[in-house]
Structure 1
Amino acid sequence: MMKVFLTGAGGFIGRNLIKKLHEQNIEVLGCDNTGGRDDIKKISLLDYDELKKQIAEFQPDTVIHLAAIALAIYGNTSEIYNVNVVGTEILLKVLSEVCKNKVKLILISTAGVYGNQSEEFYHEDLPFNPANHYSYSKMVTEYMLRQHPDLEFTIVRPFNIIGVGQRQVFLIPKLVEHFAKKSRELHVGNLKPERDYVDINYCVYILSELAQRNDMKHSIYNICSGVGHSVEDIIEILAEYSGHNPEIVVDPAFVRKNEVWRMVGDPTRLLDFVNGKKCSDFRKTLIDMYEYSKNNMI
């Protein structure tokens, strides 16, 4: 039986990925800061000794490194670099020291490493141009892999992953909640920036394929749909479907000073890897999130 070690296992992507891997009869050992399940241990990425002990005992075939502080607006800059950069270096060191066979590492980076670009669709060969500390930290982790030639690695750059069960600290679930509650006012930042939104089920499908297959032609893959939507588009879809039209207030507190105005991925490389299987329709995912939020309001 194939064995996968998964960091950040208790997060949005992690929870869905564990379910997907279990469905495929893959043994999974996850870690995060909370634990609470037999297959998820409470281990900090910064705890070298415990991380080394667990990985040495488990001897994974593949490691999927999801754990990170992933909010672009997270206020504690030093903690971003401590967890995302120092934590990754500790993980890489442990893998080099204790894995008896050559382990495959899937590093989850971010499309944020591209920042603002002149290209309409962001392909994997574009130069780095990160616009916030989270994206800078992920750029550093990509460079760090070059110091570990003993590891076989694939870098994944997800665009905006969305779906049922996502925390409301992120834009889409926050908008969905306001429409489900029929809030009279909706406070937002810039309305014009376009993002490439990807359904969580497609994301974990891609990650499970990368974990199991060895026929990758490239070392870096976007996870994207190739279609962009602005905040205006999202509000329009939710208003049309729900029949609710809140007052839209552009709040300076939510306006980013260093905005990336369009971030839409080029899925060419990804689609070649999965034989043309595309992401599900954005509108369907958005409506699924709305219906779930409406039916599960406290």
Structure 2
Amino acid sequence: MNTITRLVFVTGCAGFIGFHLSKRLLEEGILVLGIDNINDYYDTALKTDRLSILKQFQNFRFVKGSIENQELLESLFEEHDIDIVVHLAAQPGVRYSLTNPHAYIQSNLVGFATILECCKKHQIKHLIYASSSSVYGNNKKSPSSVSDRVDQPISLYAATKKANELMAYTYSHIYRLPTTGLRFFTVYGPWGRPDMAAMTFSNAIIAQQPIEVYNYGLMKRDFTYIDDVKESIFRLIKKEPPSEAASFHKIYNIGNHQPVELITFIQLLEEQLGKKAVLKLLPLQPGEVLETFADIEELANDINYKPTTSIEEGINKFTKWYKWYKKLP
């Protein structure tokens, strides 16, 4: 295992995964420089609340700004002795990409290019960046392996994430920049995004509003609890980065390896929240995939860790936080 001697730069530090990872690093005594533009894709109060927790640590510095701001990014790399970059800032969401494509081009492509250029120029030791399980599209093979072909994305969001992987590979190949891409599989847990299943469904259950359940609830998702995600990233940070033997570029699935039907996920939330959901069963929506299921063998071998949180335990922890945060009885 390698030791971090200087500073980790976390983009999207006020986001769901960025917050949890930053907090873990700070608790370990590691210096963290965080950036986030606090955009209004979802309620900024949640981002501000996450950020207020991080700001309690003396080893944390926050900068408000966008990753596509080349001048700002270059000044941060010049000013700080950055050791490792964990790039989590992005425009997320499949459905939003159907109506707001330009947001994805700017953040996920222009922003990522800016990150790559800064990492190259300043000879960053390791760039770890967020990809997505969406790159698998509707591949029929299950579970999804990082060796599978992923050249048929079915949403613009997925296309930008696949583009990120190709861009990273190019910089690794040409400039010998060590990069690691992480294909996240439906991350959930405390402080989660309001546009994702756990929070969306919980809000609807409490308000007794209809939940739109696509493919009649039969879609399966490889729900991955946030603690397992942050532990995986933390171990990759501590690990030696990809070397010439791996072409300086690696991709891992970050999943739970246990797909769960959406209807089962909702039923578990009902049990913990003590209310029945009002379901509006609908056909499959364009851009959505039928099943996500991660092959995590390579990740488990390389970091000596695999997710340990069952869906029942994860939902229990999420709903406890949810009721506390929403001030519910």
The equivalent residue for 1:186 is 211
Q: Assess if the C-alpha contact under 8 Å between 2:73 and 2:115 holds in 1.
A: yes
Counterpart among 211, 229, 245 of residue 260 in structure 2: 229
Q: Does 1:61 align with 2:83?
A: yes
The share of aligned pairs that are identical, in percent, is 25
One-letter identity of the residue aligned with 1:42: K
Deviation, 1:182, is 5.8
Separation in 2, partners of 1:106, 1:73: 26
The equivalent residue for 1:43 is 65
Q: Assess if the C-alpha contact under 8 Å between 1:8 and 1:66 holds in 2.
A: yes
**Deviation string for 1:159-199 (max 9, x for gaps)?**
111001112211221112333x2616433333111010111
Could you list the runs of 5+ residues in structure 1 that have no partner in the other structure? none
Could you list the runs of 5+ residues in structure 2 that have no partner in the other structure? 39-47
The TM-score with structure 2 as length reference comes to 0.83
Deviation, 1:274, is 3.0
State how many pairs are aligned. Answer: 293
The equivalent residue for 1:278 is 307
The equivalent residue for 1:14 is 18
Separation in 2, partners of 1:8, 1:242: 30
**Deviation string for 1:62-98 (max 9, x for gaps)?**
111111001111121012111100111111112222x
One-letter identity of the residue aligned with 1:21: L
**Which stretch of structure 1 is more off in the superposition, 242-251 or 117-126?**
242-251
Separation in 1, partners of 2:209, 2:65: 43
**Deviation string for 1:26-60 (max 9, x for gaps)?**
11101111497561201211111111011111121
Separation in 1, partners of 2:219, 2:306: 27
Deviation, 1:242, is 4.1
Counterpart among 131, 142, 166 of residue 192 in structure 2: 166
Q: Assess if the C-alpha contact under 8 Å between 2:178 and 2:241 holds in 1.
A: no
Alpha-carbon RMSD across the aligned residues, in angstroms, is: 2.1
Separation in 1, partners of 2:280, 2:222: 23
The equivalent residue for 1:175 is 201
- Residue correspondence of structure 1 range 140-289 to structure 2 within 5 A: 140-148=163-171, 149-150=174-175, 151-179=177-205, 181=206, 183=208, 185-190=210-215, 191-214=217-240, 219-251=250-282, 255-289=284-318
Q: Assess if the C-alpha contact under 8 Å between 1:173 and 1:289 holds in 2.
A: no
Counterpart among 129, 153, 161 of residue 130 in structure 1: 153
The equivalent residue for 2:41 is none
CA 185–152 in structure 1, closer or farther in 2 if over 3 Å, else same: closer
Deviation, 1:257, is 2.1
One-letter identity of the residue aligned with 1:193: M
CA 77–215 in structure 1, closer or farther in 2 if over 3 Å, else same: closer
Separation in 2, partners of 1:12, 1:276: 21
**Which stretch of structure 1 is more off in the superposition, 125-134 or 283-292?**
283-292
Q: Assess if the C-alpha contact under 8 Å between 2:179 and 2:241 holds in 1.
A: no
CA 31–247 in structure 1, closer or farther in 2 if over 3 Å, else same: closer
Separation in 2, partners of 1:76, 1:186: 23
Separation in 1, partners of 2:204, 2:124: 48
Separation in 2, partners of 1:153, 1:33: 24
CA 96–258 in structure 1, closer or farther in 2 if over 3 Å, else same: closer
**Deviation string for 1:141-176 (max 9, x for gaps)?**
111123323211111111111001112211221112
Separation in 2, partners of 1:259, 1:160: 13
One-letter identity of the residue aligned with 1:96: K
Separation in 2, partners of 1:50, 1:241: 45
Deviation, 1:102, is 4.5
Deviation, 1:23, is 1.7
The equivalent residue for 2:44 is none
The equivalent residue for 1:4 is 8
CA 258–134 in structure 1, closer or farther in 2 if over 3 Å, else same: closer
- In the TM superposition, structure 1's runs of 4+ consecutive aligned residues that sit over 4 Å from their partners are 35-38, 215-218
